[in-house]
Amino acid sequence: MEQFIQSLISSTGSILSPELIIFLISMMPVLELRGGMLAASILGIDWKLAMIICIIGNILPIPFILLFFKKIFIKLKGTRFSNYVNKFESKVMKKSEKVFKYRNFGLFLFVAIPIPGTGAWTGSIIASLFGMDIKHVVISLSAGVLAASVVMAVLSYGVLGAFI
């Protein structure tokens, strides 16, 4: 992931500001806040500013995913993309067993622990597919993003920062 982030930074560095780069990375599925914080440490952005930018960037897509994902997902099932949609759905459902068992606290933990395949995007998709209450989901996901930002700040600026 670090190599991808460095190539992204070098290819857009003269066009975009470092702050905009980490904001956009934080909005992307898969990379999300984890990639944004790592990129921020590589770019030398102050960790406090990086946390604020990455948190906003990671939280911003959540309401849109919660409101529109299931509708788009259902429409895609009736198209030539149905095989991809079904594979994606089964992948998400495998990850959602523990989340569904613990509901909102499970969503919080799912987003807060920064391991591959977890994050606000996947958490939002799980919540959308299960039809969970949006108000509680947004709170759980946002709290998870805040917790993940602390973990990633320590990793990116402390542990990994010593080697970068």
Helix%, strand%, coil% for the chain, nearest 5: 80, 0, 20
Supply the pTM of this predicted model: 0.83
Q: How far apart are the first and last CA of the chain?
A: 14
Kindly report which listed range (37-41, 52-56, 67-71, 99-103) carries the lowest average pLDDT score.
99-103
Question: What pLDDT band is residue 2 in, cutting at 50, 70 and 90?
Answer: low
126 alpha carbon, distance to own chain's centre: 13
Tokens representing 73? Answer: 């997902």
User: Contact at 8 Å (CB) between 64 and 96?
Assistant: no
Which residue in 58, 75, 67, 163 sits closest to 120, CA to CA? 58
pLDDT band for position 88 (cuts 50, 70, 90):
confident
What local confidence, expressed as pLDDT, does residue 131 receive?
A: 86
Which strand (E) or helix (H) includes residue 133? none
Average pLDDT, integer, range 55-80:
92
Across 71-75, 81-85, 88-92, 151-155, least confident range: 88-92
- pLDDT tens digits along 74-85: 899 889 988 998
